[in-house]
């Protein structure tokens, strides 16, 4: 039986960029607006947060902003993020404090997924060991070293596992070395399978298009993960959610209300 009680997708910012970053080899010159999301899962055993969005300071502080986002590596500049979209303020809308989150699960550690860790420093931080290693390398320019340099309570994982009954970590490498997706079994209704950045857009899933950025250019790994997610969704009767698809998100956004 699932321990899940409530589930919220939470908008933490918006990034405008060329579509090729989401769909490898497709969308040159086409600018899209992508939601940057975190997901809160309330269970009978505590609260879990999947991803923590961007580091607000790197976006609003001019010096940090110039250092992290205004380089050749970032031709599209920083995401837009308002004070209201910071996770502590989002949680406050739900009557919660950051301390009410027990466990943070980072699907991967790119700047728009692990950037907000400093606001959640009290929690256990779960991430795949291969992801932590790749981030520290760093394996690509979307890892911002200071996001994960703090003295956090890391709980590195080496395999698929259940975070709680009804909340399962699914290995989906390809976009990054140790990327993980998450299967959430709600108390009622179909389970939700969060692809994370294994699939940014519905198009990635339908056409089995790898993300623009693939770890060591391993398109094969990324495509295998997309197929794995589709297979699992089919087996479980789950709804498979892409992670940076604005239309898909807006059709499901009910914050501060929730799924149950």
Residues near Zn ion (CB under 5 A): 110, 197
Nearer to Zn ion among residue 4 and residue 81 (C-beta): 81
Q: Are 144 and 125 in contact (CB under 8 A)?
A: no
Task: State the nearest-atom distance from the C-beta of 200 to Zn ion, in Å.
Answer: 8
Q: What is the DSSP letter of 189?
A: S
Q: Which token pair is 83?
A: 């004070």
Task: State the nearest-atom distance from the C-beta of 89 to Zn ion, in Å.
Answer: 24
Find residue 10's DSSP bridge partners.
38
Nearer to Zn ion among residue 98 and residue 174 (C-beta): 174
Task: State the nearest-atom distance from the C-beta of 236 to Zn ion, in Å.
Answer: 24
Nearer to Zn ion among residue 8 and residue 144 (C-beta): 144
Nearer to Zn ion among residue 173 and residue 191 (C-beta): 173
Task: State the nearest-atom distance from the C-beta of 194 to Zn ion, in Å.
Answer: 14
Burial 143-163 (b: 16+ CB within 10 A, else e): bbeebbeeebeeeebeeeeeb
Task: State the nearest-atom distance from the C-beta of 130 to Zn ion, in Å.
Answer: 15
Q: What is the DSSP letter of 118?
A: G
Task: State the nearest-atom distance from the C-beta of 69 to Zn ion, in Å.
Answer: 15
Residue number closest to Zn ion, CB atom: 110
Q: What is the DSSP string of 144-186?
A: -GGGS-S--EEEEE-S-EEEETTEEEEE--SSSTT-EEEEE--
The three-class DSSP label of residue 219 is helix
Nearer to Zn ion among residue 139 and residue 193 (C-beta): 139
Find residue 125's DSSP bridge partners.
104, 154
Nearest Cα to 117, choosing from 55, 57, 181?
A: 55
Distance CA 242, CA 245 (A): 6
Nearer to Zn ion among residue 166 and residue 210 (C-beta): 210
Nearer to Zn ion among residue 90 and residue 110 (C-beta): 110
Task: State the nearest-atom distance from the C-beta of 66 to Zn ion, in Å.
Answer: 22
Length of the chain counted residue by residue: 260
Q: Are 23 and 204 in contact (CB under 8 A)?
A: yes
């Amino acid at each position: 039986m699932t321990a899940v009680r409530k589930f919220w997708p939470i908008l933490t910012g918006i990034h405008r960029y060329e579509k090729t970053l989401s769909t490898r080899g497709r969308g040159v010159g086409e600018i899209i607006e992508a939601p940057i999301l975190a997901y809160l899962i309330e269970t009978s055993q505590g609260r879990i947060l999947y991803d923590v969005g961007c580091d607000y300071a790197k976006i609003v502080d001019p010096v940090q902003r110039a250092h992290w986002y205004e380089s050749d590596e970032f031709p599209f500049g920083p995401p837009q993020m308002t004070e209201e979209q910071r996770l502590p303020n989002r949680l406050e809308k739900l009557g919660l404090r950051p301390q009410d989150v027990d466990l943070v699960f980072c699907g991967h550690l790119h700047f728009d997924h692990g950037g907000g860790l400093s606001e959640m420093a009290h929690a256990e931080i779960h991430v795949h060991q291969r992801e932590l290693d790749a981030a520290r390398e760093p394996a690509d320019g979307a890892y911002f070293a200071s996001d994960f340099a703090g003295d956090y309570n890391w709980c590195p994982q080496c395999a698929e596992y259940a975070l709680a009954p009804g909340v399962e970590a699914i290995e989906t490498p390809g976009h990054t070395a140790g990327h993980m997706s998450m299967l959430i079994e709600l108390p009622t209704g179909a389970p939700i399978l969060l692809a994370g950045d294994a699939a940014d857009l519905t198009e990635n899933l339908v056409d089995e298009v790898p993300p623009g950025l693939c770890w060591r250019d391993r398109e094969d790994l990324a495509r295998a993960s997309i197929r794995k997610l589709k297979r699992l969704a089919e087996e479980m009767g789950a709804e498979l959610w892409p992670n940076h698809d604005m239309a898909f998100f807006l059709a499901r956004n009910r914050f501060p209300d929730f799924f149950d």
